[in-house]
Chain A
Amino acid sequence: MKIKVILGVVAIVAFSSLVFYNFGNSISTYVDFEGAQGMKGAHVVGTWDDTQEAYFNRETMQFSFWMTDETGNKRKILYPRPKPNNFEQATQIVVIGEYRGNTDVFVANDMLMKCPSKYNDPSALQMQEASS
């Protein structure tokens, strides 16, 4: 009986540590463009810089635009899919990805739009998947 209890406790502790370790690795923190340096799958929050051209390259099927992060850094973003429908309306954009090589160009593997929705109070925001 005693041995069983000890084994059980050890198993539970080992399993939970493994889950927690893995959980800790699979989440990340929102960063700005400076903080995203050297990171893979960095989540950067910002807004579209509409003074710069945003265009979709029909050859490479890539959409590119400039984004300003929350601390004011501007970077060019490449998104390898057509422009998301709700792009212009987004009050906030989250790009998830990494820098391309040693350049300042950020490749977004994923993009989330926060759109103002009239179903929410004006202060609240709605998150929408980047449904292209």
Chain B
Amino acid sequence: MNEFLSWSELGFLGKTLINLGFISALLGTVVAALASLSHPPLSKRVWAISTKSFWGLQLASIVGASAVLLILIANHQFQYYYVWNHTSLDLPMEYLLSAFYGGQEGSFLLWILMSSVLGLGLMAWTRAPYRWPVMSVMGFTQVFLISMLLGWSFGDGVMLGASPFRTLLEEMPSAPFLQANPDFVPADGRGLNDLLKSPWMMIHPPALFVGFSMMTAPFAFAIASLWTRTYHEWVRPALPWTLSANVFLLTAIFLGGYWAYETLSFGGYWAWDPVENASLVPWLIGTAGIHTMIIQKKSSRAHSASLFFAIFAYVLIIYETFLTRSGVLANASVHSFVDLGLYNQLLAFMVAITVLGFGFYFWRYRDLPKPKKESSLLSKEVLTFTGSILLLVLGLVIILGTSSPIIGRLFYDNPTPPDIQFYNDWSGPLALVMGVLTVIGQMVFWQRQSWVSLGTGLLLPTIATSVITAISAIMGQVNDLYSITFFWVGWFTVIGNGWVMGSLMMRNPALIGGTVTHIGFGVLLIGVLASSKYNTFLVPPVTESFNARVAAGEAFDEEGFPITTQIESFELQRNQPKVVNQQYMVTYEGYELKDTPRPGTQIYTITFQPLDGRDAFTLRPEVYPMSSTAGTDRVDWSVDPDILTGWMSDIYLFVGGSALVERRNEQIAAQATMNEAAMSRAVSGQEVDASEAANTNGQSMTTTDSVSVVSLLPNDPVQAGPYQFTFTGYEPAQQDEVPENTQVAIRANIQVTHMPTGRSYEVVPLFAVFIDEGENFTYSPSLRIEEWGLDVQFSSIVPNDESIELTVAGLNEFIEEDWIYLTVEKKPFVSAVWLGTFLLMGGFSISIFRHWARDRQAKQSGGNRVNSSDPAVA
């Protein structure tokens, strides 16, 4: 690599490729627009070939730029800001690859790359009259996306885009260390956020961006339809793309939800976080569009609705991108994206897409085909359309909640995000109506129904649903009306659609896509309610009775105030089992330490013995220090839950605190104090007492008596804590291990014995006095005995009686106090959430193949006629 290009030239190449991609997208948009005209200047052929060439050039540039970024990351070129900010030397290859899209710039690049590849597919498979208008719209969106990565500076800090190839110097021109040495290259990078070091990171973002870029296709087809005033045909090619976009978005939503459930301690798979909503809302609107497109194909109705949804779904993707990346939501989301100063650019993108989409839509609105006579209420058109409207309403409600930092200003100056309850209160009832409607809709969709025939057809499913709901309500001890209604609708959706699916299987199994999707929706309803509302915290009997008192309003604290919050976690001493909820005997068996993939990971072993005689199982939750925010004087802990997945329920648990974590915190605080004390004023008699220094350290929250001073006379053993210290003599120190201008440097031979075990270590700590700017300083770094967590520092020599003083940290730490705080949750039927999601994906996929095959059929039979009017395209 290096033989052809230097690393700085490679970065320049990356920037050039981005610029080239931008220019070819811009020119490609123009030439594709010319190719779309019915009588373009020159010949149509010229513009068609130019469009192909510019798209090819754009794709090549973007692939090239992505390759350059990967090469820079893989070769640890930390002079580049992006590489330095998101990767480090210790990352294994798979995380280096995913660090590519670990930041804003890289994730834009991934999105652009996906769209570029997708554009190639659209160009190959789209026919006249949509082919060139579609490419022009695709190019238009690429122009805006690529502009986010340009990094053009217009002086005064006015920038267009943020380049992934900018150097540290370009990023921080005024940083003193860079002004002193502009060629400075950091030895290591800042690394990938620990939470992103997960196998899910490798597939979740790519799936999401494939979904985002595929959602461009229905938008492009809708614009192409308005452009060419051919309002009937566009849904045929657009529908498979919309279905595919939906499958990818759903996959991404699922992966994100599972990731959150499995590795974050939020306790669930969905939190209505703005970034989660950002992928859910376009999915809902895309699904609404799929419904209306199907009506349009079947009944030649709902043209305006199909166009509206196809435009709106993409507008929402850009709107949510704006919300999450512009810094507007910085206070409201756990996903934090840095504000790269792209606010105005993102806003411009959103306005441009909205104006192009809805502007065109309203301009042509009067021209759109309208149905001549109205459909009856009990027609597939009306019912399917109602489904779309419900999806739209749900989407709008979620957008409203997510937009609270903006729309909330109508109510308050400084609005907070809405309560989670807001989302639950609206999505629940809407989902119920949708569930019932799917069954009636499917019944009517495949067969003309009168009110009487519909009623007869629904009779058996209704009876079956009621019986099963009653049984499950009794078994699950469900006794509130809302839950019973919810479960009834869930079961009704499953059974009713299953009924329809059964009859379709006999007619033609290729048609079952829709029913499978709707069954999945029903399963999802059951799973969501069961796992959220019937989630229980497993606690020991004492806590259980306390919680019962809290629930009854009879629990009071020491000052006599009522306690309103139930206790969710409990303390567990090592090898002292506790029984929780009369279901399991839980034992904390101990912990082990592991350094890969995250250094300092603590793995706790917790066994569950079911009291009903089933097999015992073991869970291993982890706690690890976040390397991302670690400093020398403190550490941030992150927890990684463990889950036992079952068909009926999941056992989910995490360690919220432990003796080990507290010991580590104390050690780190004590070490920080000793490091300060190691460089202290000496000789003039002002010895700094390390133990006193430790006591003034406000950071340590519990005992600080772990730092002690031990005075030793030669060959006279002294006991401190469980250890015996013997000073056996001095040793000279090497010149190269002491600071400059050292006056005295000597090492002491110390024998340390752990009395209970009889094991001993020899340590030889250094003591040096040096002069700096005319003042005397001591230099005495502490040495560590890893096995015992003991730090020994040679802190002073007492001239009068030949004794020396050691400062020792960690004396009391070897006493094995070992406990953990454990939070254990039993979540019923999380499995149904996943199963429902898989059924949705499966149903959509079946439909993709069906509509794709139909589109190809139409191409073969009717394609000649369309193409013959446009010879240039063939």
User: A residues touching B (Cβ–Cβ < 8 Å)?
Assistant: 15, 19-20, 22-24, 26-30, 41, 43, 50-51, 54-56, 58, 60-62, 80-83, 85-86, 88-89, 100-101, 103, 105, 107, 109, 115-121, 124-129, 131-132
Contacts and interface: CB of A to CB of B under 8 A. Distances in A.
Tell which of A41, A119, A129, A132 has the most Cβ of chain B within 10 Å. Answer: A119
Interface string B424-455: 01100000000000000000000000000000
Contacts of A88: 634, 699
B628 interface: yes
Interface string B798-820: 00000000000000000000000
A51 B698 contact: yes
A119 B85 contact: yes
A23 B407 CA distance: 10
Contact of A29 (B334, B412, B639): B412
A78 to B, nearest CB: 8
B418 A27 contact: yes
Given A119-B193, A124-B336, A19 B426 contact: yes
Contact of A82 (B422, B563, B569): B569
Contact of B629 (A30, A56, A101, A116): A116
7 contacts: A26-B419, A27-B417, A60-B557, A107-B565, A118-B629, A125-B330, A127-B331
B414 interface: yes
A15 B422 CA distance: 15
B330 A23 contact: no
Interface stretch (B237-245, B396-404, B589-597): B396-404
B413 interface: yes
B265 to A, nearest CB: 4
Contacts of A28: 412, 415-416
Contact of B561 (A61, A81, A101, A116): A101
A129 B334 contact: yes
Contact of B639 (A81, A85, A126): A85
Given A119-B190, A131-B264, A131-B265, A29 B413 contact: yes
B821 to A, nearest CB: 5
Contact of B568 (A56, A81, A131): A81
B418 A107 contact: no
B442 to A, nearest CB: 25
B338 A50 contact: no
Contact of B638 (A26, A61, A85, A127): A85
Contact of A117 (B333, B567, B628, B656): B628
B339 interface: yes
Nearest to A16: B396
Interface centre among B558, B561, B570, by most chain A C-beta atoms within 10 angstroms, is B561
A132 B823 contact: yes
A56 to B, nearest CB: 8
A118 B266 contact: no
Contacts of A81: 565, 568-569, 656
A28 B417 CA distance: 8
B764 to A, nearest CB: 35
B270 to A, nearest CB: 14
B416 A27 contact: yes
B564 interface: yes
B86 interface: yes
Given A19-B397, A82-B656, A89-B636, A26 B330 contact: no
B610 interface: no
Contact of A41 (B327, B415, B419): B419
B408 interface: yes
A127 B567 CA distance: 25
B421 A127 contact: no
Contacts of B570: 61
Interface of B: 85-86, 103, 190, 193, 264-266, 327, 330-334, 336, 338-339, 393, 396-397, 400-401, 404, 407-408, 410-419, 421-422, 425-426, 557-559, 561, 563-565, 567-571, 628-629, 634, 636-639, 656-657, 698-699, 701, 821, 823
A55 B823 CA distance: 19
A107 B561 CA distance: 11
Contacts of A89: 629, 634, 636
Contacts of A116: 629
A30 B409 CA distance: 12
B415 to A, nearest CB: 5
- Residue among A20, A27, A103 having the largest count of chain B Cβ atoms under 10 Å: A27
A105 B657 CA distance: 25
A58 to B, nearest CB: 7
Contacts of B413: 29
B821 A82 contact: yes
Given A27-B412, A61-B569, A117 B336 contact: yes
A95 to B, nearest CB: 12
Given A23-B400, A80-B565, A131-B264, A58 B415 contact: no
A20 B315 CA distance: 22
A12 B103 CA distance: 41
Which are the 8 A-B pairs with shortest beta-carbon distances? Answer: A29-B412, A26-B422, A80-B565, A85-B637, A26-B418, A132-B656, A131-B265, A126-B336
A86 B826 CA distance: 26
Given A58-B571, A119-B190, A124-B327, 4 more contacts: A22-B422, A22-B425, A132-B569, A132-B821
Nearest to A31: B414
Nearest to B631: A89
A62 B634 CA distance: 23
Given A23-B422, A27-B416, A119-B85, A80 B567 contact: yes
A89 B564 CA distance: 28
Q: Which of B565, B570, B571 has the most CB of A within 10 A?
A: B565
Contact of A100 (B332, B339, B561): B561
Contact of A132 (B407, B571, B628, B657): B657
Contacts of A100: 561
Max chain B C-beta neighbours (<10 A), residue from A26, A28, A121: A26
Nearest to B190: A118
A115 B629 contact: yes
Contact of B415 (A27, A50, A131): A27
B418 A23 contact: yes
Contacts of A119: 85-86, 103, 190, 193, 338, 628
Contact of A121 (B338, B397, B401): B338
A89 B633 CA distance: 11
Contact of A19 (B336, B400, B411): B400
A80 B543 CA distance: 13
